Each structure stands twice: as C-alpha cells, then as structure tokens.
Amino acid sequence: MLNRTKHGIVFHINEDYVIGTLWRTNYLPEGFVVSFQTVDRWLHLAKECFIIKRERMDGGIGMIINTGQRTDIPAFYAQWFANRLKEGFVCVRNPYNPIRVSRYRLDSSVVDVIGFCTKNPAPMFPYMELLKEYGQFWYVTITSYGRDIEPNVPDKHSILSDFQKLSKMVGVNAIGWRYDPVFVSERYTEAYHMHAFEQIARALEGYTQRVVISFLDLYPKVRRNFPEAQEVQEERRLRLGKAFIESATRHGMTVKPCAEGDELAVFGADCGGCMRISDYEKAIGKRLDAPKKKGARAECACYLSCDIGAYNTCKHLCRYCYANAEPATVMTQSRLHDPESPFLIGNYREDDQIYDVEQVSWIDEQMTLDL
C-alpha cells in the first residue's frame, strides 16, 4: 500500500505497524510510537523511514522496571536513582524519537520488580533501604578480562565480595552471575576462560544458583570499538560451554545461555531464557499474571519490560559494549547528567511530548508460589 500524506509517504500498514518516510517527526498517530532506521539501501525516496508500532495498553503496562539494558545505573547513577525512588517517578526519552517521553511511577503498588544488571553494585548499597518495598532481581557481571578490555571496571576481588554482600541482602533467588560476553584471543584463551570461570564459580558457591553466559556478538558499535574481536566459532562454543556447565554444576549453579539458541542444552544448560517471568516470580516469591511478550531478539526468550536507562552513558567503557557508540560520546553525555533531574541525562525540553504510562501490578494475589 502506498499513501502520500502531509506527514510523509506510507509504504505499508496493518493492525500493528506503519512503515514509510516521515517528514514531520513530531507527528505521531494516537497509540503509536516511532523508531527510525536508515533505509537508503532499500529505498531511494528518503534517507530515513519510520516504523510506527502500536503500543498495546490493554490492562496497563506491566510492572517490571529494568535499569540495565542501556547503561549501568548502580555503578554510576545510584544517587540519581535513589532520588527517583524518593520522588516516586522517572522520565525516559525514547532513544529513537527523543521528544517522546514516558513517565513511569516508581511506586511499589504498581512496580512489581526492579531489575538490575551491573558490574559494580556497591554504590547502590547505601540506598538499599529505599528498595525494601520493591521486588528485586540483580545480575552482577564478573568476567576474567583485564583493563585492556574493561578499563573502568573495579577490581574483580572487590566485586566478588560485593556480590556476596548483595546476595545476603536480597536472597540467593534474587541474584545471578553473568560471565559474558565470551570471546577468545591470544591472551584470553579457552584454557584461560575455563580456569577463570572455575575460580569465580567457586567463590560464588552458595551465593547464587544461576550463571548466564553468552558469546560475543559483533554489533556495529562493537566492530568500531573492538575491531580485532572475532566471533567464537561453534566448535569452541561447544567446548567452552561444556566446561562452564560442568564447573557451574559442581558449585550448585545452572548455566543459562543468553540468546545462544539451544546448542548447549545437550550438556545440561537451561536454554529457555536468562530472565523469564518464572525467574522474577522466584525472586519475589509471588505469581505474576503477565501477558505474553516477545523477546528483544529472535533467539531471546527473556521477558524484558520498561528500561529507564540511556544509551552512551556507561562509563565502564568495555570494548565489547553494544550500548556505547564511542568513549567521547559517553563522556559528553555523562556531563549532562544531573542527579536531581527526572531524566538520567539532561532535563525537560520545550517540545517534549510527555506520556504518563498506564501501570498496573501483575501480582496475582489469588495464587501462591511454592518455592
């Protein structure tokens, strides 16, 4: 279908999507959000097109607030997040249409779980009292890489100690370890990874029951910041995966591959997703009546909900990071951070379109969870 309108040219439309070129990016049909893609390789009509997707609001947007898909809030923005909890709301810009702002309530009556993914949980420790009314789930990433790969990540021994402290605070069901992404190089050999994984697993025995692994994906940002990186071939993935699973099993953990398909299932990995509704339920000890939701990628079975972070703001500057364009951009963005602002970066703008997100709790009070 091809329709010319004052706002652009629509190439296709169905119940859920509209695709086309957009001249007035501040125009949004009711109930839709917009994201952009470069499509000059497909079409010569425009440099950009829009994909507008209908937001499903049936029953309200469910309440899992994520903090770690775009940045590391506990490590670098703990004070800001504490202020947001105190004020009871947070504003999030759409990364593809910055004038569109989603405003979420931070209230335990509608927020069932707050999900964290961090390489350094310690800066959040002084504010844990603010989180006691909320369900929580934490992933702490501890790899074996040095400062040549993770230049600003704290000493791994201190992170191990902080992991143990955090586990005692939130409980063993509410914390997991991530050993990812895995890549192989002259320095970081298969044998190196196997030995390091075993050491970390031994230190975390009894403090978690899960470990997530994944192998390096060469996204465009990764290729730019880490040009010498190579994907791990299948034969190596299988050897490493088998060794990791055997090590994890010895220390009371289940390996959950992240977006790696089911190739490690034969060795005993749980390939059903590293962050499922059942994982949140186990963390909070309650049933969640959550609607079905697709993962972020075809291989992803995880239940990812509302993320309040921002791209290009993680100052760990890991070379394998998919969320940072380049270090200079991160430093520029970070200077715009104000701990008192409702936004992680910057503040309100004159042309902001602010949408109060309809939120409802998914907790099913009629059902109990047998742990």
Per-residue pLDDT tens digits for 34-56:
433 333 333 333 333 433 333 33
Per-residue pLDDT tens digits for 81-92:
999 999 999 999
Does residue 316 carry a pLDDT above 50? yes
Does residue 371 carry a pLDDT above 60? no
| CATH 3.20.20, applies to 61-334 | yes
Per-residue pLDDT tens digits for 65-83:
999 889 999 999 999 999 9
Domain boundaries, the chain: 3-54, 61-334
Per-residue pLDDT tens digits for 132-143:
999 999 999 999
Residue 32 confidence class, pLDDT cut points 50, 70, 90: very low
Q: Taking Cα atoms as reference points, which of 346, 318, 324 lies closest to residue 142?
A: 318
Per-residue pLDDT tens digits for 289-310:
887 765 555 556 667 678 999 9
What pLDDT, on the 0 to 100 scale, is given for residue 62?
Answer: 55
Does residue 353 carry a pLDDT above 80? yes
| Structure-derived torsion over alpha carbons of residues 87, 71, 328, 125, reported in degrees to the nearest 10 | 60
CA-to-CA separations, 206 to 69, 169, 173, 191, 210, in angstroms, rounded: 27, 14, 11, 25, 10
| Single pTM value for the model | 0.82
Does residue 14 carry a pLDDT above 90? no
DSSP 208: B
